[in-house]
Structure 1
Amino acid sequence: MNSTSHAIVNYAILSGVAPKQTWPILIGSVLPDFPMLVLVIWARINGIPGRELWGEVYWQPFWQDFTHYFHSIPIAAAIALIAHYFGIAWLKYLAIAMVMHSLGDIPLHNNDAHRHFLPFTDYKFISPVSYWDKRHNAVWGALGENLAVLGSTIYLFPSIGTWIVKGLLTLLNGLAWTAYIFFFLA
């Protein structure tokens, strides 16, 4: 899933349970993708073109480990349990959102699947569906993702008090559907 999709869907699910934990939920929802942001910035600074970045550099052991440990369900779950035990609500919901991010990724990654159960195993679930790769049914994966985001947005709209956030959600949905039409249907 795209990072923004994780944030919107996770917030829709968790906001009713933890309404005062907006920022930890949103940050935890995108934090597993942080290593990829670092990678992209590093590649730009070093003049590495996109094709080389995603075709070679991303697959190097360092970047794979960095990315996969941030997607580790056992590590994030352990953080959530420890935070719960010590009564650190913000950290608990940040870690829960990280777990939810990884759970959302499992059915939508094919050849780029993460090792979600590190450090216990290097196992990767290779889904037949991708959220981006046309060779692996992305037309359906991206459609499901966009529908989940749209449904989450509709659910959240009545509880959002500011038109700026409503406008941002509308814009993100519009961009996602435009990209879907352009990349998968055109």
Structure 2
Amino acid sequence: MNTPAHLLIGAAVMGRKGSAAVVWAALIGALLPDLSLYLLAGAAIYLFGIAPPIVFNDLYFSTSWQAIFAIDNSMILWGGLLGVAIWRRSAWAIALTGAALLHLCLDLPLHHDDGRAHFWPLTGWVFDSPVSYWDRDHGAFWVAPTEAILATVAAVLLWQQRFGIGVMVLVGCLLAAELWIVRQWLFYFTDS
């Protein structure tokens, strides 16, 4: 699933009954499982001048990058942190960890050959789903529009809550980014 959709859905689900601070926590939590990818790829491309095909075809699948991804994409770790947040009755921590865990639950069935070790540290096993959120050869023609619809519904729900101008503008930007990315996946980007 695309990161903007994760942020919108995570904020709508985990922040819908909270304050603006809880929504911001959910937005951050929904971003955290993808943050290492953005930092690693951004540094590789923009600081070290490595060509994007090398970054996404080689470095992405390298042992060192996958080890980092295993940590921030671990359902075990995020589930444990969510348990602590619930035990502490911390609304912002529940929103943050719950949105991160929801992110992983949505990613698990939507990564055909680019998944991550979601059950680390118990195992390094990676589920290779028959379905992909971006690859047209593996269902993106129906997954991507479904994702865009869910992201739109989440954006509308967030706008209806009126969490403040900052949240409303960010939600609008995230929805625009999601719709643009889905357009790119469907019409320009394919694995074949």
What letter matches 1:8 in structure 2?
Answer: L
Under a length normalisation based on structure 2, what TM-score does the superposition of the two structures give? 0.86
| Alignment match, 1:64 | 66
| Aligned equivalents of 2:12, 2:155: Cα separation in 1 | 8
Say if 2:12 is the partner of 1:12: yes
Under a length normalisation based on structure 1, what TM-score does the superposition of the two structures give? 0.88
Answer yes or no: is the 8 Å Cα contact 1:27–1:94 preserved in 2.
yes
Return 5+ residue gaps in structure 1 as ranges: none
Say if 2:26 is the partner of 1:25: yes
Q: Residues 86, 178 of structure 1: CA spacing in aligned structure 2 closer, same or farther, 3 A cutoff?
A: closer
Matches of residues 89-168 of structure 1 in structure 2 within 5 Å?
Answer: 89-160=91-162, 162=164, 165-168=167-170
Structure scoring higher RCO (CA < 8 A, sep ≥ 6) equals 2
Answer yes or no: is the 8 Å Cα contact 2:69–2:117 preserved in 1.
no
Q: Deviations over 1:59-96 (max 9, x none)?
A: 11110110121011111111121233344443333111
Q: Residues 95, 164 of structure 1: CA spacing in aligned structure 2 closer, same or farther, 3 A cutoff?
A: closer
Deviation of 1:112 (Å) = 0.5
Match of 2:160, SS? helix
Deviation of 1:152 (Å) = 0.9
Point out the more displaced range, 4-13 or 160-169.
Answer: 160-169
| Aligned equivalents of 2:161, 2:90: Cα separation in 1 | 25
CA RMSD of aligned residues (A): 2.1
Match of 2:120, SS? coil
Answer yes or no: is the 8 Å Cα contact 1:116–1:124 preserved in 2.
yes
